[in-house]
Chain A
Amino acid sequence: MSSFAQVGRLPRLPHTGRVTQARVLLSEWTKLRSLRSTRWSLLAAIVLTIGLPALFAAVTSSHWGSMSPHERADRHPLDIALAGVNVSQLAVAVLGVLVITGEYSTGMIRASFSAVPKRLPVLWGKTAVFGAVTFLLMLPSVLIAFWASQAILSRHHILQTSLSDPGVARSVVGGAVFLLLTGIFALGIGAIVRNTAGGIATFAGIFFVIPPLMNVLPSSWNHAISKYLPSEAGRQLFSLTHDSTSLSPLWGGLLFAGYCALAIAVAAVLLVRRDT
């Protein structure tokens, strides 16, 4: 331990700079990359996004011979290629919540808001940096998942498709967009709830608990309501087929983006008003 006894004089800072959105963005990038939780969550998201399709492709290939024609017809290569997205969304959402609730649980938020007392640049910075990092990692991940699962299936000459087939490229890219928006939605929830456990529970409630509950409703109600739920609307971004019970990829995606914007907007209003 170095000595603490002699008082060094505080060196002067020759130039003083003001707070700008670009500087806050840089600061948020430093915060995000300097935490283990970021690395572990994103690593989990990548492994799940790529690993599960590769696993399902291998299992499907090895059982193909014993499958009934009906069962074979039920299999679609994109369902396999994007199977990981359904699971990695949880890793992305947990990180999205943590990006903001981690500051509240540790007290870091007080340092952040002392440096940037206008507060909103912190929220914009977090959303932009986390969104960019998530998308830049998830887009290659879903592409690799697509190619890897196709490569495994091609050895058995089954379930082949191409990015140039109708809807396939849109679904694959849509998978990455879905993960990006899911993360931002979770970040908004986290900023509203300001508590890690509460944030994750709220997200899980909206995404995983409410949708199956809809099945208890009369089916006419269920069909009328379900497609407008955030998770259902968002899922249309990466599902290949659409019918009367679902929105189109475009409208589903826009509605999900609207939910994200709403969550972030509510978070922004509360962030400025509430005591820290």
Chain B
Amino acid sequence: MKHRFTHRMIEARSLTKDYGDKRAVDELSFTVRPGIVTGFLGPNGSGKSTTMRLILGLDAPTAGDVTVNGKHYREHAAPLHEVGALLEARSLHGGRSAYDHLRALAQTHGIPRRRVDELIDLVGLHDVAKKRAGKFSLGMGQRLGIAAALLGDPSTVMLDEPVNGLDPEGIHWMRNLLKGLASEGRTVFVSSHLMSEMALTADHLIVIGRGRKIADTSTQEFVSRASGNIVLVRTPQATELESQLAGPDVTVKTIEPELLEIRGLTARQIGEAASSHQIVLHELTPQVASLEEAFMTLTRDDVEFRTLTAEEQVA
């Protein structure tokens, strides 16, 4: 049972989408694999939502191609069993109750009424299921969207900014849900502009900026690659240490008279160098850049509407 969903994935090949003169998605190629949570990361306006609409066939690509489980989404006989999607843009009629909304979607696939009730319970909307969805809070709307996505017991779950509007309790719930879905062998593809959220949820990251792929790597690798080796060293013999460590790939920045920020060496190399020259260290701390910083470093040039930094504004 656990392996029911193996060999199932999303595959994009040189996927490209233009809206008029503007290129929203640019030659994007990637594979989203089953059994793990794949984060789809990018600043706002980088093409994440467009890519997801292309996957669902809501928009047609200008060039390139994307398939789900080996076929174009449109060609599947029972698409809700293949992909369950939550789009960032609201996708329900506010005049309809949550129950009727799910019921209408379920009926297209002959999914029984009982399933609708189960999902309403699962997402905790039981008490408001008969109320008009237009009166729902953002968080309740998200839960209804999740219920709709999971209606068909899909092998692939694709969620666009799912934690938007959720309270901390809801975010925690979402995180566990995603991990649970992946551990069942499903393909889980989640977009976000919140790096911290992805660090806790995603095993693998596909990072895009201005529609282009910037990185396609494990979350761990992404952080370490982007951060480089930064080590904070506190020593009363700062000048001495600095001269001992000097090398072509090493930069040393003096933060305080006794505090150095060293780039290009590991904590181990620094510690051993200090020991062999009998330099006293009071602190030796490797700095792991946060995912947030790693992301900023990588996408710095790709943010569409970047706000000017203080220096740039002065200049």
Interface of A with B (CB < 8 Å)? 1-5, 7-13, 16-20, 23-24, 26-28, 30-31, 34-37, 102-103, 106-111, 113-118, 273, 275-276
The answer to whether B127 and A1 touch across the interface, beta carbons within 8 angstroms, is yes
Give Cα distance in the complex from A2 to B124, angstroms. 6
Out of B53, B92, B110, B126, which one reaches A106, CB within 8 Å?
B92
Tell me whether B276 is interfacial, beta carbon within 8 Å.
no
Contact pattern, B 138-175, Cβ under 8 Å of A = 1, otherwise 0: 00000100001010110000000000000001101100
The answer to whether B95 and A36 touch across the interface, beta carbons within 8 angstroms, is yes
Residues of A within 8 A of B124 (CB): 1-4
Tell me whether B41 is interfacial, beta carbon within 8 Å.
no
Q: Which residues B84-140 have CB closer than 8 A to chain A?
A: 85, 87, 89-97, 100-101, 103-105, 107-111, 115, 118, 121-128
Known A-B contacts A23-B108, A102-B93, A111-B91; A10 and B60 likewise in contact (beta carbons under 8 Å): no
Out of B53, B56, B170, which one reaches A4, CB within 8 Å?
B170
Known A-B contacts A17-B109, A106-B90; A5 and B180 likewise in contact (beta carbons under 8 Å): no
The answer to whether B89 and A16 touch across the interface, beta carbons within 8 angstroms, is no
Residues of B within 8 A of A113 (CB): 56-58
Kindly specify which of B72-80, B220-228, B292-300, B303-311 makes contact with the partner chain: B72-80
Residues of A within 8 A of B128 (CB): 1
Give Cα distance in the complex from A7 to B179, angstroms. 11
Out of A10, A107, A273, which one reaches B150, CB within 8 Å?
A10
Nearest CB of B to A168, in Å: 40
The answer to whether A276 and B58 touch across the interface, beta carbons within 8 angstroms, is yes
Out of A1, A28, A30, which one reaches B100, CB within 8 Å?
A30
Residues of A within 8 A of B89 (CB): 107, 110
Known A-B contacts A4-B143, A5-B172; A13 and B153 likewise in contact (beta carbons under 8 Å): yes
Give Cα distance in the complex from A48 to B56, angstroms. 43
Closest to A119 in B: B74
Nearest CB of A to B39, in Å: 19
Residues of A within 8 A of B92 (CB): 106-108, 111
The answer to whether B143 and A18 touch across the interface, beta carbons within 8 angstroms, is no
Residues of B within 8 A of A102 (CB): 93, 95
Nearest CB of B to A169, in Å: 38
Residue contacts A-B, CB under 8 angstroms, 11 given: A1-B128, A16-B78, A17-B109, A23-B107, A24-B108, A30-B107, A31-B100, A106-B92, A107-B91, A115-B108, A276-B59
The answer to whether B94 and A27 touch across the interface, beta carbons within 8 angstroms, is no
Interface of B with A (CB < 8 Å)? 53, 56-60, 73-74, 76-81, 83, 85, 87, 89-97, 100-101, 103-105, 107-111, 115, 118, 121-128, 143, 148, 150, 152-153, 169-170, 172-173, 176-177, 180-181, 184
The answer to whether B58 and A114 touch across the interface, beta carbons within 8 angstroms, is yes
Nearest CB of A to B172, in Å: 7
Give Cα distance in the complex from A238 to B108, angstroms. 38
The answer to whether A5 and B57 touch across the interface, beta carbons within 8 angstroms, is no
Nearest CB of B to A22, in Å: 9
Out of A36, A106, A275, which one reaches B58, CB within 8 Å?
A275
Give Cα distance in the complex from A33 to B255, angstroms. 69
Give Cα distance in the complex from A11 to B152, angstroms. 11
Closest to B121 in A: A8
The answer to whether A27 and B148 touch across the interface, beta carbons within 8 angstroms, is no
Give Cα distance in the complex from A36 to B148, angstroms. 22
Residues of A within 8 A of B172 (CB): 5
Residues of B within 8 A of A36 (CB): 95
The answer to whether B122 and A10 touch across the interface, beta carbons within 8 angstroms, is yes
Known A-B contacts A4-B124, A27-B104, A111-B92; A18 and B109 likewise in contact (beta carbons under 8 Å): yes
The answer to whether B107 and A26 touch across the interface, beta carbons within 8 angstroms, is yes
The answer to whether B95 and A10 touch across the interface, beta carbons within 8 angstroms, is no
Closest to A12 in B: B153
Give Cα distance in the complex from A67 to B236, angstroms. 116
The answer to whether B103 and A30 touch across the interface, beta carbons within 8 angstroms, is yes
Give Cα distance in the complex from A240 to B60, angstroms. 51
Give Cα distance in the complex from A19 to B108, angstroms. 6
Closest to B17 in A: A275
The answer to whether A115 and B81 touch across the interface, beta carbons within 8 angstroms, is no
Give Cα distance in the complex from A273 to B250, angstroms. 57
Residues of A within 8 A of B101 (CB): 111
Residues of B within 8 A of A23 (CB): 107-110
**6 closest Cβ pairs, A-B complex:** A17-B110, A13-B153, A34-B100, A27-B107, A275-B59, A18-B77
